[in-house]
Structure 1
């Protein structure tokens, strides 16, 4: 009888093991796939517009070694810019060019057109431009930068330096506030006339950035 009971228990054990082998394996469900959020970058080309205020800091004309200082005036400044940024870690470098309309008001203002001598309007130009390098530090969508380079107007050339803050409020649109100091000079050796123009510009701008996420 004991042998019969042992045989029965063994058979039941084998049957139970076979049934367990037929059951599906319980495994953890696969982890959900989450797409990586694109990292914002300042790298790319951009174009934009700007508007602000400019004022003469030190206008003068020197004739035969005698310097004549002109009154300081200010007015509207506005134009367009285009450039390229390249981001390396938190650092951003780039190149920007702009062309500006400048209405500093009055006659005898910032005119490097030699025809202006005849109409007593030698220092009254209505445009200038710059080509500048930019270098700054990015804090995600905020960029603090310094800028400087070449400036020109009519027959005059010179230099400019400044800085600003730019913030990208979407992946393709950014706004900036910028200040520039511009120094221009024209030397007419034939007439012995040297004209200098130094002026400041504070402006706000809007850029459309290409090739970003």
Structure 2
């Protein structure tokens, strides 16, 4: 009987001591879940500048056509522009570029060479996230020189015309993009006084470029 009483008293003592023992144990505090920072959505809105290089081939007009001059050659330069992306993913922009070029041909002692040109264009595209197909068009101008090596004569002119084309641009990151582009350019015909020839140029331009977007 004494054994039973002692066992009961021991059990009661354990029950009384259990809460105090538990209070002495280290407390487990809740931990905060790590904050996940979402990548910002890609947008085409902003100013940009970049560089490009490519190739052009064309057909001489007027006297250049009569002589069979079809200039072609390499080009390279830079561009600056701005885009605005609307909520429906339509992208409207403007771009200006300047190109140094070696677009030339010669025949029968005549040479036609365009050594630099540029364009100022509007751009209209539709954004598929970081892929932007677009159409473009606007003003084109170019500096052209015509020479007659037989007579030792030369004349130069800056012609103004129009251009239209299209391309696709791809966003590598939120700041860097690359593009491929085609332009058709018509600079009309001008009279070159010293040579006594009316000449002009239409050209096809293909180029690739890279831009940094701010």
Same fold (TM over 0.5): yes
Contact kept? 1:60, 1:69, Cα under 8 Å: no
Shift of 1:188: 3.4
Residue deviations 1:95-139 (CA, integer Å, cap 9, x gap): 00001112124337xxxxxxxxxx954x32211100000000000
Contact kept? 1:60, 1:70, Cα under 8 Å: no
Partner of 1:38: 40
Distance 1:33 1:86 in 2: 31
Partner of 2:169: 166
Residue deviations 1:128-187 (CA, integer Å, cap 9, x gap): 100000000000000000000000013210000000000011111000000000000243
Partner of 2:124: 135
Partner of 2:178: 175
Shift of 1:38: 1.7
Runs of 5+ unmatched residues, structure 1 = 1-27, 109-118
Residue deviations 1:71-113 (CA, integer Å, cap 9, x gap): 32422111100000000021101000001112124337xxxxx
Distance 1:99 1:133 in 2: 15
SS at match of 1:49: strand
Q: 1:74 aligns with which of 59, 72, 75?
A: 72
Q: How many residues align?
A: 168
Q: Are 1:144 and 2:147 an aligned pair?
A: no
Q: RMSD over aligned Cα, in angstroms?
A: 2.7
Contact kept? 2:70, 2:105, Cα under 8 Å: no
SS at match of 2:114: coil
Contact kept? 1:55, 1:75, Cα under 8 Å: yes
Partner of 1:19: none
Partner of 1:60: 61
Partner of 1:98: 97
SS at match of 2:127: strand
Partner of 1:18: none
Shift of 1:62: 4.4
SS at match of 2:75: strand
